[in-house]
Amino acid sequence: MERDNTVGDHIFLNTVVANEKGESCFADKSLPYDKTLGPLRQSSVIPASQIVFNLWPKGFDENITECNGPMIILMLEGCADFIVSSGESRVLKPGDVLEYADPKRTKLKLRALRSQEFRTAVIYLDQSLKLLFNNIDDKKSKRSLPFVRNITGEDERSHFHDGELEYYERVNQSLFTKAISIKQFQYVYAAADLRYDFHNAPQRQIVLPLTGGTQGENGDGSRRVIPVGGVYFGEDVTGEGHITSAVNDAIRFSIFAHLS
């Protein structure tokens, strides 16, 4: 099975499962692209409840303990060694996805590599789960996560706005954001020659490029490049819309997380 999510034939997922000894181990899984949106290939929608962004420090080497049901872990920046109790490990980088379906039965450890910090996004799948970390008593970090938002103005044209999500500190020195409510998400593939002429966001959504990045252009001539690991809120669901293009002729594999 091809493990490269820039190939475009399917979505490849690293999964953590229990073996016959009750140890956690890795298994491979694939999902088809069975929908299209203009020039984009998309997976079917997958129900979810929320998304949280994390920044892990240099030298991090600990078990994941804050597990709140089944989740999808997305590598946004850097790389990390994911280790299961059977002793097997996999190094994941941007473009890689890990499905952690049963944290109560399977153990998972994270280890930073190359003396570098790394960033992840975690999509929680349990729709009955209350928003995590939103009544926060933890210490606020001096660091934050930048994002770009695109919204429709009173002139019916799209306009970019820059913002930041606040990070909070855990005891283990990792950082996290408050949870953002979503209702579902999709995996999306865009070819290296992508130029998607004026169109609206199909729904209010967070776009996370895991490979390739993306460039947005509005009718007023303003542009924003969202790099690999960047965060883009596409909310111009009405009006003139925007143009989306590939960055440096690179294939974009991304996530569309539909906002509630």
Sequence-ordered list of residues with C-beta below 8 angstroms from that of 135, at least 6 positions apart, any chain: none
Token pair listed for 33: 């692209």
Q: CATH number of the domain at 11-128+140-259, please?
A: 2.60.120.10
- Please state the domain extents for the chain: 11-128+140-259
pLDDT of residue 190: 98
pLDDT of residue 104: 84
Long-range residue pairs from 156-163, CB within 8 A, at least 24 positions apart, any chain? 156/238, 156/239, 156/240, 157/218, 157/219, 157/220, 157/239, 157/240, 158/218, 158/219, 158/236, 158/239, 158/240, 158/241, 158/242, 159/218, 159/220, 159/222, 160/216, 160/218, 160/222, 160/224
- Give the pLDDT band of residue 135 (cuts 50, 70, 90): confident
DSSP 239: S
Say whether pTM exceeds 0.75.
yes
Task: Give me the mean pLDDT over the 195-222 stretch.
Answer: 98
Evaluate the CA torsion angle 62, 11, 187, 220 in order and state its sign: positive
Residue 173 has pLDDT above 70, yes or no: yes
Evaluate the CA torsion angle 156, 160, 161, 167 in order and state its sign: positive
pLDDT digits (tens, 9 = 90+) for 81-117: 999 999 999 999 999 999 999 888 888 999 999 789 9
- Give the pLDDT band of residue 1 (cuts 50, 70, 90): low
